[in-house]
Every structure is written in structure tokens, then in C-alpha cells.
Homo-oligomer: A and B are copies of this chain.
Amino acid sequence: MFKVSRKSEYALIAIQHLARRARDGVTSVAELAQAENIPPDILAKVLQGLKRAGLLTAAKGAGGGYRLSRPVKEIHFLEVVRPFEEQLCVVSCQNDHGGCERGGDCTLRDPMTVLNAYMLRQFADLTMDMFLSPHKLLHGTHMDVAIGETSLGRLTSTAHPAD
């Protein structure tokens, strides 16, 4: 239920790649596609999308290519993914355009609204530098405790690292 689209994966990989090569130059689509083993045509679309989102800067002409327009630490996960995920919501009715035919009498709507807000908040804090080293992803956020413990309820009493 929460699988990201293939384009989103390509986008994340591309950001990773460009972040690692923090050289002053730019990287072309063909170059990046070959290095990461991604179909060039579709990667072109993905990079276009990222550029439109303001994450990349394009240099046309010979010797051109793409470049991160921001330090990787300031690029958020949701920004990278959003251009390729038409709806970032748990249920259709959360989306702006239209929604669902069953309007107010849906008993699922309110709980789902809460869930939706919760999930977006979880992802809002993720920055792409965490994806360069899973270590950061684990310990740079609250995820360490979330994964390590059986329940977040214990988090409140985690202050003491007794045995």
C-alpha cells in the first residue's frame, strides 16, 4: 500500500548520484543513466521533473547536464518524490480534486484524515543526506527508537539506559 513509483526511485537514485559527485561540473542524462543502469529516456523525464520542482539546475548545449541546485541536506524526501506521485494521501477524499462520491457519511473519513496528516509529518523531516548513509537515517531521526523498541510507548521511559 505504500510503494513508491519507479520514477520516484529513479529520482531518489539520481539525487544520490549527483550528491556524491559534488564536483563543480554537471552530469548529463546519458552519463547518469549508464552509471546507474537506468533507461535513459525515462531518466530524462525524471530529471526534467526534478528540475521543474526546483531541485536541479539544467545546463543546455554541449558539455551540459544537471546539477543539484541546493545542498543535499536541504532537499527533502517529499520534494523528490512529489512530482512523480500524483497523490500523497491514504484515501482519495484527502486529495483536493474531487475526492469520493460518499461525502460526509463516510465513517472512515475522519480517522483517515488523522492518519494522513500523521504520515505526511513523518516524511516531512526526512532529508536526502540521510539516504546517503543509512546510519544517518537510523540515528539522525527518531527512527532508531521506533525500530529498536517493541512499541513507541516505551519511548517515554527510554531516558535511562539501564542494562
Please report A residues at the B interface, Cβ cutoff 8 Å. Answer: 1-5, 8-9, 12-13, 16-17, 37, 81, 85, 87-92, 102, 106-108, 110-111, 113-115, 117-119, 121-122, 125, 130-131, 134, 137-138, 141-143, 146-147, 151-153, 155-156, 159
Chain B residues within an 8 Å CB radius of A13: 106-108
The interface residues of chain B lying within 8 Å CB-to-CB of A37 are 102
The answer to whether B142 and A155 touch across the interface, beta carbons within 8 angstroms, is yes
Chain A interface mostly: helix
- Expressed in whole angstroms, the Cα–Cα distance for A153 and B12 within the complex equals 24
Pick from B87, B119, B147, B159: contact of A117, CB below 8 A: B147
Q: What residue of chain B has the Cβ atom nearest to residue A36's Cβ?
A: B107
